[in-house]
Chains A and B, each alone.
Chain A
């Protein structure tokens, strides 16, 4: 079973930034695009964007444009999602998930999730 291992829970103040990591097996990193999805407490799933770990290209949901940056580190097979100007509404579990293909597929493997709490 493919394991996507995410970083631990974070507590941030409004206006701060957070960076969540997601480490993937080497073959996943080179062959699959990676998505980020978030889920506010008791709410549904919200797609944030996608990154090509090999080339670094990204596409973001319009809602997150300018506030979210997805990057990768090829030396450690890790993708990152950084969100700035945090507000209370950003309190959520953030998931990384593997695209079944090269960006045109479904999300077939998910990380365990990272809870980000934004509170003063």
Chain B
């Protein structure tokens, strides 16, 4: 199984500042035949199901604000929120869809400082 490890576990950032969340996979999730990284980022607000932010490691889902961006390749990935807004308070998860079982990171809790 591919193990997904996020860092940090929790993060407090001031409004308007940058937030960065990291995700590391135990094996590469890059498919060299199509040059795509099988990595997705979800946002989960309290009491709600998760919501897709970024797929293919760096493609923003329709309707997601452009302050959210994803980067990385192979085994190391980053979710960046360029200017934190109050509504961004949530838990963020990465997940690989390269292989079964699909595995999630443990989550990163983002709060306002």
Residues of A within 8 A of B (CB): 35, 44-47, 50, 59, 61-62, 95, 97, 100, 104-108, 110-113
Contact = CB atoms under 8 A, between A and B. Distances in A.
Contacts of A95: 49-50
Contact of B106 (A44, A108, A111): A44
B32 interface: no
Interface in B63-113: 93, 95, 97, 100-107
A100 B93 CA distance: 17
Interface of B: 40, 42, 44, 49-52, 55, 61, 93, 95, 97, 100-107
A45 B93 CA distance: 8
A35 B97 CA distance: 12
Given A35-B102, A50-B100, A44 B55 contact: no
* Residue among B44, B61, B101, B104 having the largest count of chain A Cβ atoms under 10 Å: B101
Given A35-B102, A44-B106, A44-B107, A104 B97 contact: yes
A47 B101 CA distance: 7
Contacts of A107: 40, 42, 50, 52, 95
A102 B79 CA distance: 26
27 contacts: A35-B102, A44-B106, A44-B107, A45-B42, A45-B93, A45-B104, A46-B104, A47-B101, A47-B102, A50-B100, A61-B101, A62-B101, A95-B50, A100-B55, A105-B97, A106-B40, A106-B95, A106-B97, A107-B40, A107-B52, A108-B52, A108-B61, A110-B49, A110-B51, A111-B49, A112-B49, A113-B49
B40 A47 contact: no
Nearest to B104: A45
Contact of A47 (B55, B103, B106, B107): B103
